[in-house]
Amino acid sequence: MIGLGGALGRVVRSGVSRRRVQTVVIALATMMAVASAVVAGSLVVAANAPFDHAFAHQHGAHLSAQFDPGRVGAADLAATGHLTGVTVSAGPYPTATMHPTDGRGGHFPALTVAGRAGPHAAVDDLDLTSGRWAEKPGEIVLSTEFAGPDMALGSTLTGSDAPGAPILTVVGVARSVSRTAGAWVTPDQVAALASTNEPAGSQMLYRFAAAGTDGKVAERRAEIESAVPAGAFLGARSHLDTKRAADGNAAPTIPFLTAFGVLGIAMSVIIVGSVVSGAVGTGLRRIGILKAIGFTPREVVRAYVAQALVPAAVGIGLGVVLGNLMALPLLADTEQLYDDTSLSVAWWVDVLVAVGALVVVGVAALVPALRAGRLRTIEAIAVGRAPRTGRGRWAYRVTGRLPLPRALTYGLASPFAHPVRSLAMVLAVVFGTVAATFAVGLTASLNAVGDAQDPENRAAVTVIAGGAGGPGGAPAGGAGPGVNAGPAGGNAPAGGAGPGGGNASAGGGPSPADSARIRDAVVAAPGTATSYGMASVDVTVTGIPGAVRAALYQGDSRPGGYPMIAGHWLDGPGQVVVPTRFLARTGTRIGDTIRVTHQGDAQGLRIVGEAFDTSDDGTRIHADMASFASARPDVYLIGLKPGVSRDRYATDLARVVEPLGGAVLGRDASSGRDGLILVLDAMAALLTLMLVAVAGLGVLNSVVLDTRERVHDLGVCKALGMTPRQTVGLVLASVVGIGVAGGLIGVPVGYALHGYVVPRMGHAAGTNLPPSVLDVYDLPELTLLGLAGVAIAALGALLPATWAARTRTATALRTE
């Protein structure tokens, strides 16, 4: 380390205290860079460690498999736990797919129910978060993905809307990191929840000696399937699918934060190097005096490096604290996603970033400090602070021919007297403009993602064909309260929806005749502009084990269509639109035909489009309802004509559809921005403001150095009649060219950075992105962003310009 004792320490402390602007600039630059790096590093760790920790804590299942109990007995299933590679197993547990209601016709999402005598097991050792375990028929324990304010302890629900369906009381809430079920009951209760269309199954849970890759899990799965009679193995879910689904929410933030972190670190290197270089350039006489009184070249180098490291150390300390505070909202979002471990920034992330920042600052300061050490004593004392004779004279001659006031032409030429310093200012403005351009595009892309997530929300009015929805007004086709419709949804091995899946339409809703009357009433209602029916159902798809969520549409569904990445939206029966992850998992592409089965009705549907849809683990498909004879709408989504009052329309329509078993809900199409998108928007704005502020401070530092060097020249100009306003114009003119150059370079770089980072954010979430998310810039906006470079430079120069204008002529003339 650099010692700060004795005469050397006094030199360092004197330099830090005298150069207040440079000290503040270095501290803020390093603070911003460290804060960005801490946030990025903490999210990288959060995207990988929590699931693994929770999975190890609960002895999670590497594979949860579903079997047909009519084809294989319990003893034979238990024997599969002794196959090669299986270290431990649990089960078999009886399972059923349940379509619960609230007893008043409101439907909750379908969920897989498993029969277990207790929460603890060798595999999938559940955490009972509240209440107690189900001890007798009529009691149920909900998973944390399904439980919510309207399904709290003591609440009751009915197994289905079929006559005689059992009534269950919620006695506990449990957490399963493996997502093996959405609820648990006593083993004897399962039979009463099964139905003819969806009979009971058997579930086995396995842990393997090697399960780190899809290939290894697939090998064990194939051995298990071959060990039971043909047709007995119904499907399975790998822990890797669950992990990827959980990681998908945090992973997209990593490219975004990394980009800002790299921008911050690069800017800190440029500004620290510029500040130390400026200190050397303006302190030549001081360096000469230090050498004259006995300081060695090595001590001079150490002094100037230390003058950068002292404020940098302060900035690093503040940056670590700020980075931890900024990481909290993102970590809280990730903690809710994993729902197991309390997340915080790992201590080693703070240490690694702090040490790395010190090294970067030290290297950035070392280059100009070495220049100070190599200066000859006589040369340094003789030259003092003056720039080299004749430097930039050609620029003064060229600008002098411009039809502008002399003060402005003098200012326009002044950057050429210090080309290295001017280059540092250009780079600072470039990075500030890059950050602004990238942030504007990123925010627009994130908002486009939010608008695209739930196209059904564009409907002004929703008619629920099955009566009032579940508590909280959830429509029959959507997730009820407290339901995580993301990672847990979809591919449960039980043949039904996963714990967080959407509602199945089986067994609910009005009669087909009443459903048709509701549709006719919607179409005939005055004020209806567009309308279409939709049902969210469970289907099976060849190539994907377990149930897959399907959105089936009746009528022209284009108002509720998802943004298309490739191909086109549905325009007739026999077609299906799928998301990116579905194509990846099944190895299919647009133009291929997939076999989809709904309630025994198997149809071959041709893939006509790739949609931007990440719901239900990115496997939900979209098809025309006419492809399946047994399907009917759960909801009707309505767009209104201009000028029609939504509340009045909903009231009038309710009088018609409620006698038919329907219910009308008004919906605010502008509400409901995803929490993570809001957090990312806020962080993008905060990080951009930090980068732009540091860029402005970099300009401020350089202009302060220039102004102090030329204070005698400014005194001469004032003595010859230059007014304070002309003095301000001279200083501002000195940075106009720098701002223009920074904007011309920064905007294209920021545009390119957006085009590089945003698609990778999508890939981290397992999806491609549509043009509506990628093509977010327009020419007027880019032009304004280009002018941001001039604004950054002008704001940075405004304070020293004001100081120069207020300096008295006599004071300036006496200053050397």
At 480 the pLDDT is 31
pLDDT band, very low/low/confident/very high, at 133 (cuts 50, 70, 90): very high
> Is residue 214 within 8 Å of residue 238, measured between CB atoms?
yes
> Is residue 751 within 8 Å of residue 437, measured between CB atoms?
yes
Does residue 158 carry a pLDDT above 90?
no
Q: What is the largest CA-CA distance in the chain?
A: 105
At 576 the pLDDT is 93
Rounded-to-10 torsion of CA 68, 72, 74, 75: -160
Does residue 31 carry a pLDDT above 80?
yes
At 285 the pLDDT is 67
Residue among 431, 37, 421 at smallest CA distance from 266: 431
The type of residue at 580 is T
Q: Can you tell me the distance from the alpha carbon of 657 to that of 662, in angstroms, rounded to the nearest whole number?
A: 5
Range among 23-27, 299-303, 541-545, 564-568 with highest mean pLDDT value: 564-568
Residue among 231, 233, 237 at smallest CA distance from 214: 237
Interval 475-498 mean pLDDT: 32
> pTM (2 decimals)?
0.68
Interval 263-281 mean pLDDT: 69
Does residue 342 carry a pLDDT above 80?
no
> Is residue 399 within 8 Å of residue 412, measured between CB atoms?
yes
The type of residue at 144 is T
Q: Can you tell me the distance from the alpha carbon of 613 to that of 598, in angstroms, rounded to the nearest whole number?
A: 21
b/e string for 697-717 if b means 16 or more Cβ within 10 A? Answer: bbbbbbbbbbbbbbbeebbeb
Backbone angles phi, psi at 546, to 5 degrees: 80, -165
Say if strands 601-611 and 575-579 run parallel, antiparallel, or are unpaired: parallel
Q: 436-479 pLDDT, tens per residue?
A: 898 899 888 888 887 777 777 778 888 887 543 333 333 333 33
> Is residue 217 within 8 Å of residue 207, measured between CB atoms?
no
